[in-house]
Structures are given as structure tokens and as C-alpha cells.
Amino acid sequence: MTVQVGILGATGAVGQRFVQLLDGHPIFELACVTASDDSVGRTYRNAAEWRLSSEIPAFVADRVVRETDPAAVPDDVDLIFSSLPSDIAADVEPAFLEEGYVMSSNSSNDRMAPDIPLTIPEINPSHLGLIEVQREQRGWDGALVKNPNCSTITMVPTLAALDEFGLESVNVSTLQAVSGAGYSGVAAMEIMDNAIPHIGNEERKMETEARKLLGDFDGAELELHDADVAASCNRIPTIDGHLENVFTGLASNPEPAAVRDAMRNFESADLHSSPEQLIKVFGEGRPDRPQPRLDRSYADGMGVVAGGVEETTDGIQYNCLAHNTLRGAAGASLLNAELLVEEGWV
Ligand code: NAP
């Protein structure tokens, strides 16, 4: 089966990762790329500041960038990936959904809407059932699925693994890479030799999205997980890979070894882009891992790496890391799209 796809915002930091991941993908064939009016009409080679490898992928280099509008998308496209800035996505995405497109979106608008699935295939695939609710409530022929924010997706697989020990609270502090702010997001003069102890709205996204992802869906409504989540987000001068220090409060008192086993054994999904082992865990004696430069490419950037698992007075503390534009963004949308195909929504 081949599905023709389009990428909205294809020239940006996440859009370029989509292009990279779609090169040779067994199901998805890239039919069109869109961006802002500044890029429309230019070749992709000319419009995108390609920095991911020395060569821009040949299959996309000479494509002409199209307008971000359903009328500009070829008729045989069934699935749309969205990596637009959220304020633009809030205007544009409904137009595609009204036209019947299935959309897998990175943008943060509507992630917490009660009728929109916020999905990580290995964690909460059943939440896709919200598509029926969404179609009924919004009158869309299409379907909208969101993936979480990159810092949320880094910690939630580890929290899902800890849930069996009675997850009651989470305190997390992040060290986030500059690519998380997009192509023109952080000026070099601002971030080099520096750290910025706040990332606009990121803290609230982590606190709310984590509870939605871990929540229960009864087929009609979704109940948020009742853990308290508090986050503090920091930007540091790494290029890719978000590192997070997590302190959990647990109802039971597991040994660190039992927690490491629960993380290691947490089941992955049987999809083309899901890693065989979702969470790699460094054992005792390696409190200095994971590290962005050494560990962000684990499982081709689609896995999560944890380490430094230790007991605290209330529960367990550890560090975790994931590649923010792969597992945290384009790869997350791609996995959701693979799940949509697998479950017959496309
Ligand atoms: P980015 O590098 O700034 O790229 C933005 C893209 O949107 C570019 O292709 C840009 O086209 C296009 N665009 C901007 N204004 C537009 C308009 N008015 N109409 C049509 N297209 C427009 O941003 P990014 O980091 O890739 O982020 C994209 C989305 O993913 C955001 O919603 C972000 O919150 C989310 N996200 C990002 C990350 C990450 O790690 N970076 C992680 C998770 C989620 P031009 O090149 O023509 O300007």
C-alpha cells in the first residue's frame, strides 16, 4: 500500500526532518511540500536552509514549494503532515480537515482539546478512538491527530513505565536543545556561553500534555491521569536532544533495579518506525548518561534513553533524553501516521 502525503511547513526545522524520514519510506510517498509565501514558487533546494547532511535529498531538491492551502495540494494526497507555527496552524489546519484530509500534526494548537487525540503509539494508541467523537462534534470528514511537545514526549514513555508503581507526582527540569526553537528561534549571541531558564509555554505544555497522554479513554471521553506534574524548562547550547531530570513520587517503594527493568521491558509498537526497544536504560554506575551528543541517535533518534535511576524519599529520580526533532517532532508524527494507516483511518 502506498499513501501520497504532503508536508505543511516543509522548509522548517521539523519539516526538514519529515523530508529526511520520508526518503525511502515503505508506505508514504511525498507528493508535495508547502511553506510560507516567502518560499512559494521556489525550489525546495533554494527555499530550505538545509543543514541536516551535506546533500539535500535528491527526491525533493527540485520540487517547487506550494502554497499552504488545500487547493494547492494534488488530488491524490490522502495524508498531511503539519509542522507549521502553531498560530498559523490554528487557521490553516481546519481548512484541510473540512476538505477530508487525515492530518498528523506537530503544532501545539488544540493538543488539549477533549476531542483531539494526542497520541504516542507505544503509550496510548486507543486514544485514536477520539476521531469518531471529533468527526461527530466538528463535522469534519478528515481526522486530526496531534503528537505532544518534544519535551513531553521525552519523559512520558518513562512515566508510563513507572505507572505500575503508582505514579502520584512528577517534578521535571529540562535542558533543551536550540533546534527545539525552530530554524530562526534562538540567536547565537543569546545562547552561546549561556543557559536560559524559561521557554515560553513549554512548562504548561509538559504539565498538561503528560496527563492527557497517560489518561484513560472509555470510548467516549478521556479522563486525565491524576498525577501532579510540575516542570521547569531551560534552553542550553546543544543542537539536538533534550535532556531531562525527573523526580517522581510513587505510591509504592520499588528498588531502582525494578524500575530499570520496567523501563527496559516497556513494550514498543509494531510499526515501521518504532524502535525495537523503546527505552534504553543505563545501569548502576553510569550516572553520567544519557548525554545529548552521545545518546540522541539511539534507535535512529526514535528511542528514549534513561539513566541515573535512584531512590529518593518519595519515589524515584532519573534522567531521560530523546532527539527533539525526530522522536520529539517529525518522527512522532510519522509514527502516528503509521498507526493511522495500520488501524484503517487512512
Ligand atoms: P520553523 O523552523 O520556524 O519552521 C516553520 C515552517 O512553517 C517553515 O516551513 C515556514 O516556511 C512555515 N511557515 C511559517 N509561516 C508560515 C505561514 N504564514 N504560512 C505557511 N507556512 C508558514 O519551526 P519548527 O521548529 O519546524 O516548528 C514547527 C512546528 O512544530 C511548531 O508548531 C512547533 O511548535 C512544533 N514543534 C517543534 C519541535 C522542534 O523541536 N523544533 C518539536 C515539537 C514540535 P518558510 O521557510 O517559508 O518561512
- pLDDT single digits (tens) 207-228: 999 999 999 999 999 999 999 9
CATH code of 132's domain: 3.40.50.720
Nearest CA to ligand 1 atom 23: 182
Are residues 117 and 53 located together in one domain of the fold?
yes
pLDDT at 182: 87
Cα of 195 from ligand 1 centre, angstroms: 23
Are residues 164 and 114 located together in one domain of the fold?
no
Phi, psi (5° rounding) for residue 272?
-55, -45
Place of cell 496552524: 89
Active-site positions read 150, 242
Per-residue three-class SS string for the chain = CCEEEEEECCCCHHHHHHHHHHCCCCCEEEEEEEECCCCCCCEHHHHCCCCCCCCCCHHHHCCECEECCHHHCCCCCCEEEECCCHHHHHHHHHHHHHCCCEEEECCCCCCCCCCCCECCCCCCHHHHHHHHHHHHHHCCCCEEEECCCHHHHHHHHHHHHHHHHCEEEEEEEEEECHHHHCCCCCCHHHHCCCCECCCCCHHHHHHHHHHHHCCEECCCCEECCCCEEEEEEEECCCCCCEEEEEEEEECCCCCHHHHHHHHHCCCCCCCCCCCCCCEEECCCCCCCCCCHHHHCCHHHHCCEEEEEEEECCCEEEEEEEECCCHHHHHHHHHHHHHHHHHCCCC
Atom of ligand 1 nearest to the CA of 182: 25
Are residues 161 and 81 located together in one domain of the fold?
no
Using a pLDDT cut of 90, give the percent of the chain over it.
96
Cα of 332 from ligand 1 centre, angstroms: 15
Phi, psi (5° rounding) for residue 199?
-130, 115
Are residues 52 and 33 located together in one domain of the fold?
yes
Are residues 100 and 190 located together in one domain of the fold?
no
Residue 184 has pLDDT above 90, yes or no: no
Q: Are 182 and 13 in contact (CB under 8 A)?
A: yes
Cα of 89 from ligand 1 centre, angstroms: 9
Pocket test for ligand 1, best of 73, 83, 153 (most atoms within 8 A of CB): 83
Are residues 72 and 220 located together in one domain of the fold?
no
Q: Is 107 in the pocket of ligand 1 (CB under 6 A)?
A: yes
Q: Is 154 in the pocket of ligand 1 (CB under 6 A)?
A: no
Q: Is 176 in the pocket of ligand 1 (CB under 6 A)?
A: no
Are residues 116 and 185 located together in one domain of the fold?
no
Q: Is 328 in the pocket of ligand 1 (CB under 6 A)?
A: yes
Q: Are 128 and 343 in contact (CB under 8 A)?
A: yes
Are residues 305 and 156 located together in one domain of the fold?
yes
- pLDDT single digits (tens) 131-141: 999 999 999 99
Are residues 164 and 308 located together in one domain of the fold?
yes
List C-alpha distances in Å: 243 to 15, 154, 185, 307.
22, 8, 19, 11
- pLDDT single digits (tens) 288-317: 999 999 999 999 999 999 999 999 999 999
Residue 344 has pLDDT above 80, yes or no: yes
Cα of 5 from ligand 1 centre, angstroms: 18
What average pLDDT does this structure show over 48-58? 91
Q: Is 273 in the pocket of ligand 1 (CB under 6 A)?
A: no
Domain count, the chain: 2
Are residues 169 and 217 located together in one domain of the fold?
yes
What average pLDDT does this structure show over 96-124? 97
Residue 121 has pLDDT above 90, yes or no: yes
Are residues 113 and 163 located together in one domain of the fold?
no
Residue 285 has pLDDT above 80, yes or no: no
Are residues 42 and 121 located together in one domain of the fold?
yes
Cα of 192 from ligand 1 centre, angstroms: 23
Pocket test for ligand 1, best of 11, 14, 176 (most atoms within 8 A of CB): 14
Q: Listing from the earlier edge strand, what are the strands of the sheet with 315-322?
A: 228-235, 167-176, 242-250, 315-322, 304-311, 279-281
> Residue 65 is part of which domain span?
3-149+329-342
What average pLDDT does this structure show over 234-254? 97
pLDDT at 325: 96
- How confident is residue 237, by pLDDT bands cut at 50, 70 and 90? very high
Q: Is 106 in the pocket of ligand 1 (CB under 6 A)?
A: yes
